[in-house]
């Protein structure tokens, strides 16, 4: 069924039912995305409540006008951008930012979809609790988009992905009706898991308008260490050792390659380098432990046993909050350093933990077979999630390698797929990886997805072209 | 579309493609369920591999013969029983019990759907790991059914429900094609969450044939305590205090009412009563802590601070494994004592934690308004999951109260629904609660469920009459 553009007449019909505040100027930020691959189009509509969202969806369904749900605009795969086709309504949740309720005794908060992640962090902290989802873009990412894309980040190892932190949803389905599913329950086996179906569907099955989220107790004490490891296999052995010591107390276990430290030194020289001589591989370990345990002492014990076992050869345990922040600053500024260098091809991949050392070894060979490049491999090792990014050699730029870009991406993704991994660990499919999903996705699952999409959104108005090919 | 019975001719056509071993005698156990409410019917077929399951499903789809997926037969809501309608194929997974692989370093095991939960526990333990899902029927429940119903149990507080422990699935969809989704990945954002859609769909959207499951590190030390509390509010405050002390270290937090202890004393007098004078309310706390912490000492500190705060007035911390088992025996035998007394109406409900004290108070009034009954309220308080079971007064039997049964169930469920709870916390809908789902379920969600069912199973062969009304 053919979709139609949001014409001035159509927008006028919306003006008749929504307040003026719902109509926003078409500022450039709505049409840009962080990596600059696409330029979007659309008419911005920002309802103030779920009923307003429902009115927009009903109107669009009636007129066959496409809708692109819009959160913080921080997505990296173009799910929030409509570069072509009929002009859509950009349905922004920015005016729906309320914390509807917070129950510290239940460890639950209910927030509207437009709430910014950092604000949720602060609301939880004010109640003596922790909302563990954390990503670099936390100052602008909104919870509706974080759930729509099932965001990951640095604390997945301990607390899970966005979907694992959601107890219930309120959402507008493609027919414009509101599903009131904001349950604050840990156990609820009453029918199909519509919540998890919407989470990660990237706005193609409905619009999340509010969510009931899990909070966690704040650990009694926290600690951070950087340890130089002999390689990826040693890093994994160290992770297993850390789990034997501290169980779920390990909040993050990040791997950093020397290439990342070198890029930092080159592009952001003000950031203090932690090691006098950058090791080939190091890990950043963050722990939050129960009362009666000293995180710094536990990390020192881990280092001593890891040293004894030949897994680590250098390292430092943060002795203050300032040091913890300094260690994390190194990890968190690596993406910025990468941006300044300019990657030829970036890959957000995951693998079964035990094959990661083999993947890294084979990946080196695969890239070398294509040309001379620098690889910065870093990320959430504890989750098997690597950011495997390929850069030009010194003196060259990404523009010099346009011709090799597709071949690199294909080769890396083919290898990941062959080894049982995923070509989109935490960023989603959006518009960038529709072809990858078709190539690597299980055909039976893809057909089931298409059947579900057709059943819930028969007109195809919800974010057409994201995840699944439009009209496909 | 009309379904047809599995005729002898149809079964002969299956015999042409499946080995003799796949055809099982129609033993009575396949047609009974634990609470004796229904008597089933069907022809038993037990394929030896996923391809065999796919052949059965394809044949049934072609001939419009219904399929009832069958695990351990321990479900409490009749999801595994077809009491009427066309004679189905009872598709038993009992021959598919293999552990396909176990990766201790990844904390992952891949098992076939017919694997018995206890066997998975033992495989994990042999590898120094823990598979945390645990229910009373662990000696006969099979993982396919546990996932199909999203089973809960005693460790949900710490480790989540069955769905939270599953990384990937292999399943046969209603068209007889196999979805190969056995990923061993912690992060994989490649399309809709078909895994969670199948989990908890109770065999109405497909047949799970294998699963990749999360394992956990075994806690360095474990401990158990029984504490008499002033009431449900005090129990919740004690839970919050315990979380402040031990974070995720609390594996189970069960509440027990004196009624349960009295029933135990009456029906199972050999079980040692923990308290000289049974308190009105007590909690059973199980903890598993990291290295460097003494679980018994931590529980004693919790008791001391709880006593100081007026939350607990009596209690004991297990000093040996034998004592831990004795404490758990009290909790685990309460359902058996209940069975011997004979309930008028049982309710597997969940509520937001903070309203539980009010629910218990109001529930007492609601039941008293119907007649004189004894209420045994116990369960997984940490998850907000209560088993709220209503019994006759001494000298009377459940048969004396047939007339009040529906009124009690309705009144309890109405109250739960009004207070934001669920009328099926962990058992599912099956055939028992189809009417409850229609009454209390969100109508928009129900329509979405029907649309998904029609999209994935247009002929309606998969477990017709479970979850959704057949042909509805």
Could you tell me whether strands B43-45 and B89-92 are parallel, antiparallel, or unpaired per DSSP bridges?
Answer: parallel
Q: Are B128 and A240 in contact (CB under 8 A)?
A: no
pLDDT at B429: 98
- State which residue of chain B sits closest to A386, comparing Cα positions: B187
Tokens of A157: 């190892």
Give the 3-state secondary structure of residue A254.
strand
Q: Do A236 and B448 touch (CB under 8 A)?
A: no
Give the 3-state secondary structure of residue B210.
strand
Q: Do B384 and A467 touch (CB under 8 A)?
A: no
Q: Do A449 and B298 touch (CB under 8 A)?
A: no
**Residues constituting chain B:** 472
Tokens of B20: 């003799």
* Mutation to test the A interface, candidates B145, B186, B379, most A Cβ within 10 Å: B186
Name every chain B residue with its beta carbon within 8 A of the beta carbon of A433: 190
Mean pLDDT of B71-82: 96
Residue B472 has pLDDT above 70, yes or no: no
Can you list the alpha helix ranges (DSSP code H) found in B319-355?
Answer: 321-341
What's the CA gap between B272 and B329, in Å, rounded? 9
Which residue in the set B190, B200, B353 is minimally distant from A193, CB to CB? B200
Question: Within chain B, what is the greatest distance between any pair of CA atoms?
Answer: 74
Share of chain A above pLDDT 70, in %: 99
Q: What residue has token string 């914390």?
A: A99
Q: Do A187 and B105 touch (CB under 8 A)?
A: no
- State which residue of chain A sits closest to B290, comparing Cα positions: A246
Which residue in the set A156, A180, A220 is minimally distant from B187, CB to CB? A156
Q: What are phi and psi of A55, to 5 degrees?
A: -65, -40
Name every chain B residue with its beta carbon within 8 A of the beta carbon of A447: 177
Distance from the Cα of B397 to chain A's closest Cα (Å) equals: 30
Distance from the Cα of B299 to chain A's closest Cα (Å) equals: 12
Which residue in the set A150, A237, A448 is minimally distant from B456, CB to CB? A448
pLDDT at B169: 98
Q: What torsion, rounded to 10 degrees, do the Cα atoms B353, B355, B358, B362 define?
A: -100
Name every chain A residue with its beta carbon within 8 A of the beta carbon of B352: 103, 106, 108, 184-185
Mean pLDDT of B247-253: 94
**CATH assignment of A8-94, among 3.30.43.10, 3.40.50.1970, 3.40.50.10110, 3.40.50.300:** 3.30.43.10
Helix (H) or strand (E) holding B53: helix B50-63
Share of chain A above pLDDT 90, in %: 97
Q: What tens digit of pLDDT does each residue of A197-239 get?
A: 999 999 999 999 999 999 999 999 999 999 999 999 999 999 9
Give the 3-state secondary structure of residue B248.
helix
Which residue in the set A152, A354, A444 is minimally distant from B178, CB to CB? A444
Give the 3-state secondary structure of residue A357.
helix
Residue B57 has pLDDT above 90, yes or no: yes
- Give the closest residue to B299 by CA, choosing from B280, B279, B319: B319
pLDDT at A1: 63
Q: Give B136's pLDDT tier (boundaries 50, 70, 90).
A: confident
pLDDT at B391: 98
- Give the closest residue to A385 by CA, choosing from B218, B182, B170, B183: B183
> Does the fold of domain B342-427 match that of domain B220-322?
yes
- Give the closest residue to B85 by CA, choosing from B166, B193, B4, B190: B4
Residue A472 has pLDDT above 60, yes or no: no
Sign of the torsion angle spanned by Cα atoms B405, B407, B409, B411: negative
Q: What tens digit of pLDDT does each residue of A412-464 get?
A: 999 999 999 999 999 999 999 999 999 999 999 999 999 999 999 999 999 99
ipTM beyond 0.95? yes
Residues paired with B169 in a beta bridge: B181, B211
What's the CA gap between B470 and B472, in Å, rounded? 5
Q: Do B191 and A451 touch (CB under 8 A)?
A: no
Mean pLDDT of B425-449: 97
Strand runs (DSSP E) across B175-220, as ranges?
178-181, 207-214, 216-217
Q: Are B187 and A156 in contact (CB under 8 A)?
A: yes
Mean pLDDT of B7-17: 97
**For B23, which DSSP code?**
B
Name every chain B residue with its beta carbon within 8 A of the beta carbon of A150: 189, 193
Tokens of B285: 């706390």
Helix (H) or strand (E) holding A349: strand A348-350
- State which residue of chain A sits closest to B383, comparing Cα positions: A186
Q: How many CB atoms lie within 10 A of CB A11?
A: 16
Name every chain A residue with its beta carbon within 8 A of the beta carbon of B160: 164
The full set of domain ranges for chain B reads: 99-217, 220-322, 342-427
Tokens of A280: 């080939």
- State which residue of chain B sits closest to A188, comparing Cα positions: B425
pLDDT at A35: 83
Query: Residue A291 burial (CB < 10 Å; 0-12/13-18/19+)?
Result: middle
Q: How many CB atoms lie within 10 A of CB B130?
A: 21
What's the CA gap between B395 and B392, in Å, rounded? 8
Helix (H) or strand (E) holding B61: helix B50-63
Which residue in the set A160, A197, A447 is minimally distant from B197, CB to CB? A197
Q: Do A383 and B186 touch (CB under 8 A)?
A: yes
Distance from the Cα of B270 to chain A's closest Cα (Å) equals: 33
Q: Give B1's pLDDT tier (boundaries 50, 70, 90).
A: low
- Give the closest residue to A173 by CA, choosing from B468, B457, B445: B445
Which residue in the set B247, B442, B444 is minimally distant from A290, CB to CB? B247
Residue B471 has pLDDT above 80, yes or no: no
Name every chain B residue with its beta carbon within 8 A of the beta carbon of A154: none
What's the CA gap between B164 and A164, in Å, rounded? 7
Strand runs (DSSP E) across B19-79, as ranges?
43-45, 67-70
CATH class of the domain whose range is A221-418: alpha beta
What's the CA gap between A314 and A306, in Å, rounded? 10
Mean pLDDT of A188-194: 98
Name every chain A residue with its beta carbon within 8 A of the beta carbon of B448: 173, 179, 192, 194, 456
Q: How many CB atoms lie within 10 A of CB A358?
A: 14
Q: What residue has token string 């047949």?
A: B207
Mean predicted lDDT score pLDDT of chain A:
96
Q: Are B423 and B349 in contact (CB under 8 A)?
A: yes
**CATH assignment of B220-322, among 3.40.50.1820, 3.30.70.2190, 3.40.50.300, 3.60.21.10:** 3.30.70.2190
Q: What tens digit of pLDDT does each residue of B368-389 get?
A: 999 999 999 999 999 999 999 9
Q: Do A247 and B249 touch (CB under 8 A)?
A: yes
What's the CA gap between A57 and A64, in Å, rounded? 10
Which string of DSSP letters, residue by residue, matches A201-244?
STTSS-EEEEEEEE-EEPPSEEEEEEEEESSHHHHHHHHHHHHH
Q: Are B106 and B58 in contact (CB under 8 A)?
A: no
Which residue in the set B179, B197, B421 is minimally distant from A185, CB to CB? B421
Helix (H) or strand (E) holding A110: strand A108-112
Q: What residue has token string 């000293």?
A: A294
* Mutation to test the B interface, candidates A77, A135, A187, most B Cβ within 10 Å: A187
Residue A471 has pLDDT above 90, yes or no: no
Q: Which of A16-25, A343-352, B165-174, B463-472 has the lowest mean pLDDT?
A: B463-472
Query: Residue B357 burial (CB < 10 Å; 0-12/13-18/19+)?
Result: middle
Q: What residue has token string 């404490």?
A: B327
Residue A78 has pLDDT above 90, yes or no: yes
pLDDT at A83: 94
Mean pLDDT of A35-52: 95
Q: What tens digit of pLDDT does each residue of A115-157 get?
A: 999 999 999 999 999 999 999 899 999 999 999 999 998 899 9
Sign of the torsion angle spanned by Cα atoms B340, B346, B347, B348: positive
The answer regarding whether domain B342-427 maps to CATH 3.30.70.2740 reads yes
Q: What residue has token string 């080995």?
A: B19
Distance from the Cα of B394 to chain A's closest Cα (Å) equals: 33
What's the CA gap between B451 and B457, in Å, rounded? 10
Q: Do A220 and B244 touch (CB under 8 A)?
A: yes
- Give the closest residue to B378 by CA, choosing from B286, B240, B311, B282: B282
- State which residue of chain B sits closest to A425, comparing Cα positions: B188
Distance from the Cα of A173 to chain B's closest Cα (Å) equals: 8
Distance from the Cα of A124 to chain B's closest Cα (Å) equals: 15
Which string of DSSP letters, residue by residue, matches A58-98?
HHHHHHT--EEEESSS--SSSTT---SSSPPEEEE-TT---
Residue A339 has pLDDT above 90, yes or no: yes
Q: Are B353 and A167 in contact (CB under 8 A)?
A: no
Q: Do A244 and B220 touch (CB under 8 A)?
A: yes
What's the CA gap between A89 and A5, in Å, rounded? 9
- State which residue of chain B sits closest to A157, comparing Cα positions: B186
**CATH assignment of B99-217, among 3.30.1490.110, 1.10.10.10, 3.30.590.10, 3.30.465.10:** 3.30.465.10
- State which residue of chain A sits closest to B244, comparing Cα positions: A217
What's the CA gap between A124 and A201, in Å, rounded? 26
Distance from the Cα of A133 to chain B's closest Cα (Å) equals: 14
Q: Do B291 and A442 touch (CB under 8 A)?
A: no
Q: Are A61 and A176 in contact (CB under 8 A)?
A: yes
Q: Give B295's pLDDT tier (boundaries 50, 70, 90).
A: very high
Name every chain A residue with its beta carbon within 8 A of the beta carbon of B191: 200, 429, 437, 441, 445-446, 449, 467
């Amino acid at each position: 069924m053919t979709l139609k553009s949001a014409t001035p007449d159509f927008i006028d019909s919306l003006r008749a039912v929504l307040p003026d505040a719902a109509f926003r100027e078409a500022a450039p930020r709505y049409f840009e995305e962080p990596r600059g691959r696409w330029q979007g189009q659309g008419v911005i509509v920002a309802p103030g409540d779920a009923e307003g969202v429902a009115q927009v969806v009903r109107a669009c369904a009636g007129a066959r006008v496409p809708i692109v749900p819009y959160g913080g605009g921080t997505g990296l795969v173009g799910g929030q951008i409509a570069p072509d086709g009929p002009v859509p309504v950009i349905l922004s949740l920015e005016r729906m930012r309320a914390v509807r309720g917070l129950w510290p005794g239940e460890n639950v908060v209910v927030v509207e979809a437009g709430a910014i992640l950092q604000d949720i962090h602060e609301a939880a902290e004010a109640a003596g609790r922790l909302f563990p989802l954390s990503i670099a873009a936390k100052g602008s990412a909104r919870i509706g988009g974080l759930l729509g894309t099932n965001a990951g980040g640095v604390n997945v190892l301990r607390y899970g992905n966005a979907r694992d932190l959601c107890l219930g949803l309120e959402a507008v389905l493609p027919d414009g009706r509101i599903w009131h599913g904001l349950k604050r329950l840990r156990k609820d086996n009453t029918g199909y898991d519509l919540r998890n179906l919407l989470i990660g569907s990237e706005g193609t099955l409905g619009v999340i308008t509010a969510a009931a989220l899990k909070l966690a107790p704040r650990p009694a004490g926290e600690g951070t260490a950087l340890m130089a490891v002999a390689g990826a296999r040693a890093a994994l052995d160290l992770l297993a050792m850390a789990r034997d010591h501290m169980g779920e107390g390990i909040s993050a276990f990040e791997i950093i390659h020397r290439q990342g430290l070198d890029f930092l030194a080159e592009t952001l020289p003000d950031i203090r380098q932690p090691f006098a001589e950058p090791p080939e591989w190091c890990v950043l370990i963050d722990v939050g432990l129960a009362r009666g345990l000293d995180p710094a002492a536990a990390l020192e014990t881990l280092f001593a046993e890891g040293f004894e076992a030949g897994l680590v050869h250098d390292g430092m345990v943060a002795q203050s909050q300032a040091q913890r922040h300094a260690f994390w600053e190194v990890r968190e500024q690596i993406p910025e350093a990468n941006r300044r260098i300019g990657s030829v091809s970036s890959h957000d991949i995951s693998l079964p933990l035990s094959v990661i050392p083999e993947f890294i070894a084979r990946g080196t060979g695969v890239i070398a077979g294509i040309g001379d490049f620098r690889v910065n491999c870093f990320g959430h090792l504890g989750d098997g999630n690597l950011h495997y990014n390929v850069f030009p050699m010194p003196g060259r730029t990404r523009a010099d390698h346009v011709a090799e870009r597709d071949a690199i991406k294909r080769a890396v993704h083919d290898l990941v797929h062959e080894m049982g991994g995923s070509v989109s660990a935490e960023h989603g499919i959006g518009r960038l990886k529709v072809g990858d999903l078709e190539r690597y996705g299980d055909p039976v699952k893809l057909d089931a997805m298409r059947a579900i999409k057709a059943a819930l959104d028969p007109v195809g108005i919800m974010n057409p072209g994201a995840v699944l090919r439009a009209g496909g």
